[in-house]
């Protein structure tokens, strides 16, 4: 474990603490930053909790020469900017009522009550200005054991916020070791149908984070076998995801960095184009995300069941028709579907070819065909399509003589067909 007091050594944190001291209340670093520091990880962000009211935080920031933004002031959160870095400062809260994803709260003054309304023990730790870690729920022991455990009764905590089902799996994938905590797993399975009540956007964020995590493969298999993934994305293929992760390791893609969550989503849940369309709706994927999955699915159509990679000509065809990313994605998933070892040289050489080969450029434009007397409209489109197919079969030639011969053949064939 790393001493979380190192968080206090950041001059920006020290300046923020000094400014908030003017409120007369107590302020602590809370949640993920303390957890990550104890795990020896660099926190992505540092959040603070305080007994001061939001308007007192805003005034203290102003007096300290800091900019504040009322990002969630109705819920007690003010973002304070210190030398360009944002810090969320939230007034302690107590739940009055909870409604699945919402809650009616009131501001409080008790750090223990605030901690015990959080989701997991490892997220309920707080660090005071004197460097002391406060643990009200057994989070220190769970961090030492690399265990993700709900605070209190798991079913009750899930009923308060249904998204905690996916967070349970995601946090275990990122930080956990060994088996999932039994009581939490049982509660998650029992409440799995409640995931249908959540917004697609929230599920998308949690799922993509889970798939990028260190133990994504094991946890994805758990949620598939438990029928949890079926609730929000339908059929899944955890074995193919496992094979993809092995290939990532064999090629160095998975070493020392998070996995490509979208490629892993494809391995987990995409076989055909209709799967990409279904995920777009169920997860509210962005246009770019859906386009990547759809392109991959189209490129993969002719590769299902392949026991060897395509030859060089067919690799060039993939590269031309589906682009470098689409071709590489499809080839990697075809490798994952095959019985070949993750380190198989023929598949890895094919992947290297797709990475390095110049993409073919079709050397004919519509204007070129108009010069040959092809009429604009359907005839032009049909001729271009036929010509492109001939050019691909001919091996993507670029020399003018061969291209001219292919153009003349395509134009002649279209003219003969139209004259019938």
pLDDT at 95: 63
Question: What integer best gives the mean pLDDT of the chain?
Answer: 92
CA angle 217, 181, 28 (to 5 degrees): 100
| Cα distance between residue 228 and residue 196, in whole Å | 10
| CATH class of the 1-145 domain in this structure | alpha beta
Three-class SS state of 47? strand
* Alpha-helical runs (H) found in 193-300: 200-212, 216-225, 229-232, 238-251, 261-269, 273-283, 287-300
CATH 3.30.460.10 domain position(s) in the chain: 1-145
Query: Residue 411 and residue 406: Cα distance in Å, rounded?
Result: 9
Q: How far apart are CA 74 and CA 302, in angstroms?
A: 54
Question: Coil, strand, or helix at residue 151?
Answer: coil
Distance CA 62, CA 57 (A): 9
- The yes or no reply on domain 147-232 and CATH 1.10.3720.10 is no
CATH 1.10.3090.10 residue window(s) in the chain: 147-232
Say what the pLDDT of residue 103 is.
Answer: 55
pLDDT above 90 coverage of the chain, percent: 80
For 287-312, how does the pLDDT look when each residue is reduced to its tens digit (9 = 90+)?
999 999 999 999 999 999 999 999 99
**Residue 286 neighbours by CB under 8 Å, 6+ apart:** none
Model pTM?
Answer: 0.87
Q: pLDDT by residue (tens digit) across 240-290?
A: 999 999 999 888 764 434 569 999 999 999 999 999 999 999 999 999 999
Enter the tokens of residue 336.
């994952």
Instruction: For helices 200-212 and 216-225, give the axis angle rounded to 10 degrees.
Output: 130
Positions of the chain with pLDDT under 70: 1, 95-105, 253-259, 414-420
């Amino acid at each position: 474990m790393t001493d979380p007091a190192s968080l206090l050594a950041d001059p920006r944190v020290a300046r923020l603490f000094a400014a908030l001291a003017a409120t007369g209340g107590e302020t602590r670093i809370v949640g993920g930053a303390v957890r990550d520091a104890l795990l020896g990880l660099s926190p992505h962000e540092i959040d603070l909790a305080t007994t001061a009211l939001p308007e007192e935080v805003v005034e203290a920031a102003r007096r300290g020469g800091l900019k504040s933004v009322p990002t969630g002031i109705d819920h007690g959160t003010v973002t304070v900017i210190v030398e360009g870095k944002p810090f969320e400062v939230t007034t302690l809260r107590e739940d009055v009522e909870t409604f699945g994803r919402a809650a009616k709260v009131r501001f409080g003054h008790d750090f223990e009550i605030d901690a015990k309304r959080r989701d997991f023990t490892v997220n309920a730790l707080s660090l005071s200005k004197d460097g002391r870690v406060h643990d009200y729920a057994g989070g220190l022991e769970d961090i030492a054991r690399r265990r993700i455990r709900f605070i209190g009764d798991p079913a009750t905590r899930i009923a308060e916020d249904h998204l905690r089902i996916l967070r349970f799996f995601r946090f275990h994938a990122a930080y956990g070791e060994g088996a999932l905590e039994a009581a939490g797993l049982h509660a998650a399975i029992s409440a799995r149908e409640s995931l249908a009540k959540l917004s697609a956007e929230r599920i998308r964020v949690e799922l993509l984070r889970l798939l990028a995590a260190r133990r994504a493969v094991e946890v994805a298999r758990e949620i598939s076998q438990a029928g949890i993934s079926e609730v929000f994305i339908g059929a899944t293929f955890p074995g193919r995801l496992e094979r993809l992760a092995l290939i990532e390791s064999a090629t160095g893609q998975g070493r020392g960095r998070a996995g490509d969550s979208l490629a892993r989503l494809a391995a987990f849940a995409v076989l055909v184009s209709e799967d990409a369309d279904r995920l777009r709706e169920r997860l509210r994927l962005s246009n770019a995300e859906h386009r990547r999955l759809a392109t991959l699915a189209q490129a993969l159509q002719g590769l299902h069941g392949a026991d060897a990679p395509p030859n060089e000509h067919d690799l060039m065809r993939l590269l031309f028709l589906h682009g470098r990313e689409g071709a590489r994605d499809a080839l990697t998933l075809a490798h994952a579907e095959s019985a070949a070892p993750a380190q198989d040289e023929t598949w890895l050489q094919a992947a290297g070819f797709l990475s390095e080969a110049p993409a073919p450029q079709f050397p004919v434009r519509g204007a070129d065909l108009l010069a040959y007397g092809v009429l604009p409209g359907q005839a032009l489109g049909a001729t271009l399509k036929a010509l492109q197919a001939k050019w691909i079969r001919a091996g993507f030639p670029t020399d003018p003589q061969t291209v001219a011969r292919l153009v003349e053949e395509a134009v002649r064939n279209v003219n003969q067909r139209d004259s019938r």
